[in-house]
Amino acid sequence: MNMDFNLLMNDMVMQARGEMETSGYEQLTTPEEVDAALSRPGTTLVMINSVCGCAGGIARPAAANAIHYDKRPDHLVTVFAGQDKLATQQARNIFGEEHLPSSPSFVLLKDGQTVAEIGRHEIEGHAPTSVITHLQGLFEEHCEEV
């Protein structure tokens, strides 16, 4: 059996993107889209997406389910590390010098300023419910009731 690696990866990337879009996250694929989205007033949750099976398979379900909460961000966006490299780099520049680049991960911004992060080390090896609880704790602290 001969399998084309690029075809397999493209399928994985399309599925990972689709999961986020279906969950209501806006795909940011260019630095200009990142600048516009992350400068909006209010709270913005950025999910740095990844095809990493172990952590990505936890982060995407957590991202999809955490938003079913009384308090949640005004905006939901995602950049795809390793795929939309310039967009991801621009987002990381905006997150600030304290930001430790990792993927997948989450960054919560309020009025364009980073207020909280969940890095890969807080996702990988954890149950999705643990990540959901962590996200919802950040929503409770920084977001308004919908």
- The residues carrying an active-site annotation are 52, 54
Collapsing DSSP states into helix, strand and coil, what is residue 39? coil
- Residue 70 is given by DSSP the state S
Q: How far apart (Å, rounded) are the C-alpha atoms in residues 130 and 48?
A: 18
The owner of tokens 């308090």 is: 71
Residue 89 host element (H or E): helix 85-95
Which residue from 136, 29, 5 is spatially nearest to 72, judged by alpha carbons? 136
Name the residue type at position 64: A
Extract the tokens encoding 90. 């621009």
- Residue 43 is given by DSSP the state E
